[in-house]
């Protein structure tokens, strides 16, 4: 058994001209032949000045006991670190880079807009154009407000739902992550789950009392909460397809049952599509599932790599927002021209590129097929859950992963070992079993075949 306790500096000599290419090799490290000396030094320095050395906890690689590569640049499906190692990127900045990195149209839009001014704190035509584009792609949105992150979007949507219904309670689901707002750090997923703090210190008892939690894909747990609290529940918020406890698909009974309960009790149904929006389809998960929420929150892709979030939905609810209505929400940089230019260019490309989602599906299905075969050929227990270009490889003996309880049975130690070997083979994935992987339109068949080859090599080594 290979003991990979922490990131070892691989000094294996590799053919220089392959140094920056992703080439899984037979060397014990399976490495790209690069080294990590600069990242290790950079991480040590960063930790002196930034908590944990990172500006978002999931980036720390703490749970996989490795040093995170410091990224110097990116292009298309690849990222390159400061040691010169190049990786095939399945993180995609945690979702935004659906077009791949440095898409020329997006880079041009950002640079041209920057020359005219980055931000004015005043209305611009770009914001109206962005609102129209969002409404065209997500028909359930009558009116939309731009903000600067997914957290701002979900936080504001919940405040709006509470103000609109004059009720206090919300329901969220164990393992779902909606950003780091106090009301959501209750049994939260993503980094909170990965780092073992699903209920964060610092969230007051009063705030926590306002958040009820149910089990994903278990409609009975939702019904029980409505029976107990019926007309006190302002909103139900969920990831319509989860990514933050790994990818889990909702059962039809679950997702339609929630819609019915919200309608019956006058509760606002919020689909948190920060991750799924514009990725699973032009209209996101709601288009695929055929279920219409009252409010939708958006982020990631909508900014094309710049900080953008948005929330929108039924006119009668949105009209409660200041300055039209009494519910207050604001933001200095909300809708700034630079972010709008990057996001609008991205959305237009998604909307106008013929066969975009069909191509993405072909690439993602190719990867799923290859990884599934690698699991079987190497007798590695695992389940791959995929929808469109979002996927998770769960290392588990279970034959399915459909709930948070199923996710909790995963072998996170095996994941950590696989993760590091794959990384050293030039495959850059989310450093957590409780995250989604993302395929971009820039991933080539060669990228995907190399990824499958690296997975095979990693499984062989781990099973020896």
Report angle CA 405, 407, 412 to the nearest 5 degrees: 130
Q: Is 238 near ligand KE4 (CB under 6 A)?
A: no
Give the separation between CA 236 and CA 268, rounded to whole angstroms: 6
The DSSP line for 428-451 is E--SSTTS-EE--TT--HHHHHHH
Beta pairing class for 169-173 and 233-238: parallel
Instruction: Tell me the β-bridge partners of 80.
Output: 73, 86
What's the Rg (C-alpha) of the chain? 22
Kindly state whether residue 291 participates in binding ligand KE4, applying the rule CB under 6 A: no
Alpha-carbon distances, residue 217 vs 51, 256, 412 (angstroms)? 36, 11, 22
- Site stretch for ligand KE4 (CB under 6 A), options 164-172, 201-209, 220-228, 236-244: 236-244
Q: How far is the CB of 386 from ligand KE4 (least distance, A)?
A: 16
Query: Which CB atom, from 299 or from 426, has the smaller least distance to ligand KE4?
Result: 299
Q: Establish if 151 lies at the interface with ligand KE4 (CB under 6 A).
A: yes
Question: Is-catalytic flag, 300?
Answer: yes
For residue 406, state whether it binds ligand KE4 (rule: CB under 6 A). Answer: no
Contacts (CB under 6 A) with ligand KE4, residues 3-62:
56, 58
Exactly one of 36, 87, 177, 216 is catalytic; which is it? Answer: 177
Task: Spell out the alpha helix ranges (H) of 122-251.
Answer: 125-137, 150-165, 190-194, 205-209, 219-229
- Nearer to ligand KE4 (CB atom), residue 34 or residue 240: 240
| Separation in Å, CA 428 to CA 18, 107, 113, 314, 393 | 17, 23, 31, 39, 14
Other CB atoms within 10 A of residue 460 CB: 16
163/189 with CB nearer ligand KE4:
189
Q: Which residue, 33 or 437, has its beta carbon nearer to ligand KE4?
A: 437
Evaluate the CA torsion angle 441, 444, 445, 448 in order and state its sign.
Answer: negative
Q: Candidates 18-26, 80-88, 174-182, 248-256: pick the segment binding ligand KE4 (CB under 6 A).
A: 174-182
Q: Note the maximum CA span of the chain.
A: 68
One residue of 145, 178, 363, 386 binding ligand KE4 per CB under 6 A: 178
Question: Measuring CA to CA, which residue among 414, 394, 416, 413 is closest to residue 403?
Answer: 394
Q: Does 149 bind ligand KE4 (CB under 6 A)?
A: yes
Can you tell me whether residue 387 is helix, strand or coil? Answer: strand
Please say which residue, 173 or 177, places its beta carbon nearer to ligand KE4. Answer: 177
The residue among 4 and 285 lying less far from ligand KE4, judged by its C-beta, is 285
Q: How far is the CB of 289 from ligand KE4 (least distance, A)?
A: 15
The window from 115-123, 146-154, 204-212, 282-290 that contacts ligand KE4 (CB under 6 A) reads 146-154
For residue 159, the minimal CB distance to ligand KE4 (Å) is 15
> Could you tell me which of 58, 418, 59, 433 has the C-alpha nearest to residue 246?
433
Among 35, 39, 133, 190, binds ligand KE4 (CB under 6 A): 190
Contact 243, 435 (CB under 8 A): yes
Q: Which of residues 303-362 bind ligand KE4 (CB under 6 A)?
A: none
Q: Which of residues 259-288 bind ligand KE4 (CB under 6 A)?
A: 272, 274-275
Q: CB nearest ligand KE4: which residue?
A: 150
Mark 141-153 as b/e (b = at least 16 C-beta within 10 Å): bebbbbbbbbbbb
Of 171-179, 203-211, 340-348, 396-404, which segment contacts ligand KE4 by CB under 6 A? 171-179
* Of the residues 150, 246, 250, 284, which one makes contact with ligand KE4 according to CB under 6 A: 150
Instruction: Report d(CA 227, CA 364) in Å as an integer.
Output: 41
Q: Name which of residues 419 to 438 contact ligand KE4 (CB under 6 A).
A: 435
Q: From the CB of 237, what's the least distance to ligand KE4, in Å?
A: 9
**Site membership for ligand KE4, residue 177 (CB under 6 A):** yes
Instruction: Quote the least distance from Cβ 346 to ligand KE4, whole Å.
Output: 15
Measured between alpha carbons, how far apart are the two ends of the chain, in Å? 6
Q: Which of residues 54-113 bind ligand KE4 (CB under 6 A)?
A: 56, 58, 94
Cβ 274 to ligand KE4, closest distance in Å?
A: 4
Residues 247 and 433 sit within 8 Å (Cβ to Cβ): no
DSSP for residue 180: S
Q: Which residues pair with 74 in a beta bridge?
A: 79
Q: Exactly one of 83, 89, 218, 272 is catalytic; which is it? A: 272
Q: Identify the active-site residue in 300, 363, 417, 420.
A: 300
Checking DSSP bridges between strand 427-428 and strand 86-89, what pairing results, if any?
A: parallel
Q: Which lies closer to ligand KE4 via its Cβ, residue 241 or residue 441?
A: 241
Regarding 407 and contact with ligand KE4 (CB under 6 A), the answer is no
# residues near ligand KE4 by CB under 6 A: 20
243/335 with CB nearer ligand KE4:
243
What residues make contact with ligand KE4 under the rule CB under 6 A? Answer: 56, 58, 94, 149-151, 154, 177-179, 190-191, 239, 243-244, 272, 274-275, 299, 435
Which are the catalytic amino acids? 177, 272, 300
């Amino acid at each position: 058994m290979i003991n990979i306790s922490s990131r070892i500096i691989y000094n294996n000599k590799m053919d220089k001209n392959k140094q920056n290419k992703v080439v899984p090799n037979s060397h014990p490290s399976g490495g790209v032949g690069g080294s990590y000396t600069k990242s290790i030094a950079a991480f040590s320095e960063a930790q002196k000045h930034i908590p944990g050395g990172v500006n978002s906890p999931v980036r720390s690689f703490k749970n996989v006991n490795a040093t995170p590569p410091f990224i110097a640049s990116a292009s298309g499906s690849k990222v390159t670190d400061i040691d010169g190692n190049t990786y095939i990127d399945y993180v995609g900045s945690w979702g935004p880079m659906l077009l791949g990195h440095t898409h020329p149209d997006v880079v041009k839009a950002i640079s041209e807009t920057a020359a005219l001014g980055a931000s004015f704190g005043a209305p611009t035509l770009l914001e109206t154009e962005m609102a129209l584009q969002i409404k065209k792609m997500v028909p359930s949105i009558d009116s939309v407000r731009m903000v600067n992150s997914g957290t701002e979007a979900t936080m504001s949507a919940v405040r709006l739902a509470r103000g609109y219904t004059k009720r206090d309670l919300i329901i969220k689901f164990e393992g779902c992550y909606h950003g780091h707002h106090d009301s959501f750090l209750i049994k939260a997923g993503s980094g909170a789950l990965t780092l073992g703090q699903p209920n964060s210190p610092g969230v007051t008892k009063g705030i926590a009392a306002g958040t009820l939690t149910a089990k994903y894909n278990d409609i009975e747990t939702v019904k029980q909460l409505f029976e107990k609290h019926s007309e006190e529940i302002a909103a139900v918020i969920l990831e319509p397809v989860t990514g933050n406890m790994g990818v889990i698909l909702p059962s039809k009974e679950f997702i339609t049952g929630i819609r019915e309960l919200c309608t019956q009790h006058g509760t606002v149904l919020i689909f948190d599509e920060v991750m799924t929006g514009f990725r699973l389809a032009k209209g996101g998960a709601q288009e695929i599932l055929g279920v219409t929420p009252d409010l939708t929150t958006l982020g990631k892709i909508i900014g094309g790599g710049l900080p953008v979030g948005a929330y929108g939905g039924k006119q009668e609810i949105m009209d409660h927002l200041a300055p039209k209505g009494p519910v207050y929400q604001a933001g200095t940089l909300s809708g700034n021209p630079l972010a709008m230019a990057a996001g609008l260019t991205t959305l237009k490309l998604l909307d106008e590129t013929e066969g975009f989602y069909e191509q993405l599906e072909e690439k993602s299905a190719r990867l799923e097929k290859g990884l599934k075969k690698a699991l079987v050929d190497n007798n590695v227990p695992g389940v791959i859950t995929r929808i469109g270009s979002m996927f998770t490889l769960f290392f588990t003996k279970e034959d399915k992963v459909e709930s948070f309880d199923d996710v909790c049975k995963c072998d996170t130690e095996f994941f950590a070992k696989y993760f590091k070997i794959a990384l050293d083979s030039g495959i850059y994935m989310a450093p957590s079993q409780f995250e989604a992987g993302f395929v971009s339109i820039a991933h080539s068949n060669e990228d995907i075949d190399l990824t499958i080859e690296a997975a095979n090599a990693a499984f062989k080594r781990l099973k020896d």
